[in-house]
Amino acid sequence: LCIVNTKISAILLDNMTTKTQPGLAKAQLTADVVMFTIEDNTLEVLLVKRAHEPYKDQWALPGGFLWNGEATKQTAERILCDKAGVEGMYIEQLYTFDSPGRDPRGQIVSVAYFALVARESLKINLSAKTQHPTLFPVASLPQLAFDHQHIISYAHRRLQAKIQYTNAVYSLLPPAFTFNQLQSVYETILGRSLDRRNFRKKFMSLGLIRPTGQKLTGICFPATDRTQPLVLS
């Protein structure tokens, strides 16, 4: 199997400069976004209803084809801005999905992104053009188009891993929040309950939280400079 390819690879190398040989894939690139938010202690993801075939009228991740000169991350941000009216959200590349056959229209490769947005800053745009963007609880998703169910599972696992070693979770919260709200976000994402005292101890030792001093209302601000741990007052 290995040796047979030698000859063919010569064609490939020529292709790298001529760019117009048969056999070369005419893959198309899309960006799909898994946008998470939290509402009523439930982890939710933004879906849209497909207006066209394939998978017409089924729910799907918001996504779209790249524009000229655009990076996939910009595509993802643009799409999210259109559907959810939110800019400057936390967004990162998740994985590139490219199994042949994942899209019946042909070889369509999707660079998936995952985004975190606080529910408060979401302004979902329900005009006819936006394909009815809707939040669904991750725990009870409808039937999804393409391999989007798989992409969401992957994103959920990434999110669970990510909150263990980063402060990305702040993106899901308003600028000021209580310790219990923070813990509740963790519990929601991880799907299990955590010990209140240990949770507080851990977070305090990380120096990522600054107490506001507003004791009775129990409000904490996220550290403004998140690279530099802040001293407790």
Partner DNA sequence: ACAAAAGTGTTTTCATTACACCCATGG
Partner DNA sequence: CCATGGGTGTAATGAAAACACTTTTGT
| Residue numbers at the binding site for DNA (CB under 7 A) | 178-180, 195-198, 200-202, 205, 215-216, 218
Closer of 68 and 217 to a copy of itself (Cβ): 68
Name the DSSP letter for residue 199. Answer: H
CB of 183 to DNA, least distance (A): 9
Q: Which residues of 166-189 are buried (b: 16+ CB within 10 A; e: fewer)?
A: eeebbbbbeeebebebbbbbbebb
Of 179, 186, 167, whose CA–CA distance to 225 is shortest?
A: 167
Q: How far is CA 197 from CA 77, 81, 179, 201, in A?
A: 38, 39, 11, 6
Site string for a copy of itself, 61-80 (x = CB under 8 A): ---xxxxxxxxxx----xx-
Task: By CB under 8 A, tell whether 126 contacts a copy of itself.
Answer: no
CB of 86 to a copy of itself, least distance (A): 8
Neighbouring C-beta atoms of residue 49, cutoff 10 Å: 17
Closer of 111 and 116 to a copy of itself (Cβ): 111
Candidate segments 1-9, 135-143, 209-217, 225-233, binder of a copy of itself by CB under 8 A: 1-9
Site string for a copy of itself, 145-184 (x = CB under 8 A): ----------------------------------------
Neighbouring C-beta atoms of residue 101, cutoff 10 Å: 8
**Two tokens, residue 182:** 């923070």
Closer of 42 and 134 to a copy of itself (Cβ): 134
Question: What distance lies between CA 101 and its chain's CA centroid?
Answer: 23
Q: How many CA atoms lie within 13 A of 110 on its CB side?
A: 25
Residues contributing to the site for a copy of itself (CB under 8 A): 1-2, 5-6, 9-10, 12-13, 15-17, 19, 23-29, 51-53, 64-73, 78-79, 81-82, 85, 87, 93, 95-96, 98-100, 105, 107, 109, 111, 125, 127, 129-131
